Amino acid sequence: MILALQIGGGTIVALALFQLCLGVYSSVAAVFRERRLDARHLQHFNDLAQAALRNAEVDRLKSGTTWAGKRKFRIVEKRVENKCGDICSFYLQPHDGGELPPFLPGQFLTFELPISDQPAPVIRCYSLSDSPSRLDRYRVTIKKLSPPPDAGETVPGGLSSTYFHANLKEGDVVDVQAPKGGFVLDLQSERPVVLIGGGVGLTPVLSMLKALDDAGSHREVHFFHAARSGDDIVLCDEIREIAERRNNVHYRVLYSAPTDACVEGRDYDCPGFLTVDVLKRYLASSNYEFYVCGPPQMMSSLTEQLRDWGVPDSDIHFEAFGPASVKTVKSPASSREAAESVQVEFSRSGKKVSWHEQDGTLLDLAERNGIRVASGCRAGNCGTCATALKKGDVTYVTRPASSPAQGSVLMCIACPGGNVILDA
Task: Give the count of alpha carbons within 13 A of 34, CB side only.
Answer: 6
Q: Which parts of 53-107 are beta strand (E)? A: 71-80, 87-94
Q: Per-residue pLDDT for 163 more than 80?
A: yes
| Structural domain boundaries, residue 6 | 2-62
pLDDT of residue 202: 95
d(CA 354, CA 364): 13
Task: Give, to the nearest 10 degrees, the angle between helix 15-35 and helix 39-62.
Answer: 170
d(CA 193, CA 211): 13
> 119: pLDDT confidence band, cut at 50, 70 and 90?
confident
What CATH number should be reported for the domain holding residue 401? 3.10.20.30
pLDDT of residue 143: 96
Q: How many residues does the chain have?
A: 424
Distance in angstroms between the alpha carbons of the first and the last residue of the chain: 47
Shared domain for 160 and 202, answered yes or no, is: no
Percent of the chain with pLDDT over 90: 64
Would you call 163 helix, strand, or coil by DSSP? helix
pLDDT tens sequence across 327-382: 554 545 444 444 468 999 999 999 999 999 889 999 999 999 999 998 888 888 78
d(CA 398, CA 327): 5
Shared domain for 138 and 200, answered yes or no, is: no
Nearest to 412 by CA among 323, 329, 303: 323
Burial class (CB in 10 A: 0-12, 13-18, 19+), 129: buried
Look at residue 187 and tell me if it is in a domain. Answer: no
Per the CB < 8 A criterion, the answer to whether 291 and 192 are in contact is: no
Q: Strands 122-127 and 108-113, how do they pair? A: antiparallel
Q: Per-residue pLDDT for 66 more than 90?
A: no
Task: DSSP letter for 414, please.
Answer: E
> 45: pLDDT confidence band, cut at 50, 70 and 90?
very low
Per the CB < 8 A criterion, the answer to whether 90 and 138 are in contact is: no
Q: Per-residue pLDDT for 154 more than 60?
A: no
Look at residue 261 and tell me if it is in a domain. Answer: yes
Q: Per-residue pLDDT for 136 more than 80?
A: yes
How many Å is the maximal CA-CA distance in the chain? 81
> 322: pLDDT confidence band, cut at 50, 70 and 90?
low
Burial class (CB in 10 A: 0-12, 13-18, 19+), 405: exposed
Shared domain for 142 and 205, answered yes or no, is: no
Look at residue 308 and tell me if it is in a domain. Answer: yes
Q: What is the pTM of this model?
A: 0.78
> 64: pLDDT confidence band, cut at 50, 70 and 90?
low
Would you call 45 helix, strand, or coil by DSSP? helix
Residue type, 235: L
d(CA 109, CA 71): 11
Number of domains in the chain: 4
d(CA 48, CA 26): 13
Per the CB < 8 A criterion, the answer to whether 54 and 187 are in contact is: yes
pLDDT of residue 340: 67
Look at residue 102 and tell me if it is in a domain. Answer: yes
Shared domain for 306 and 343, answered yes or no, is: no
Q: Per-residue pLDDT for 78 more than 60?
A: yes
Residue type, 49: A
Q: Per-residue pLDDT for 267 more than 70?
A: yes
Look at residue 325 and tell me if it is in a domain. Answer: no
d(CA 201, CA 193): 17
Shared domain for 24 and 109, answered yes or no, is: no
Mean pLDDT for 194-199 is 97
Residue 247: count other Cβ atoms within 10 Å of its Cβ.
9
Shared domain for 281 and 255, answered yes or no, is: yes
Domain end: 294, 320, 346, which one?
A: 320
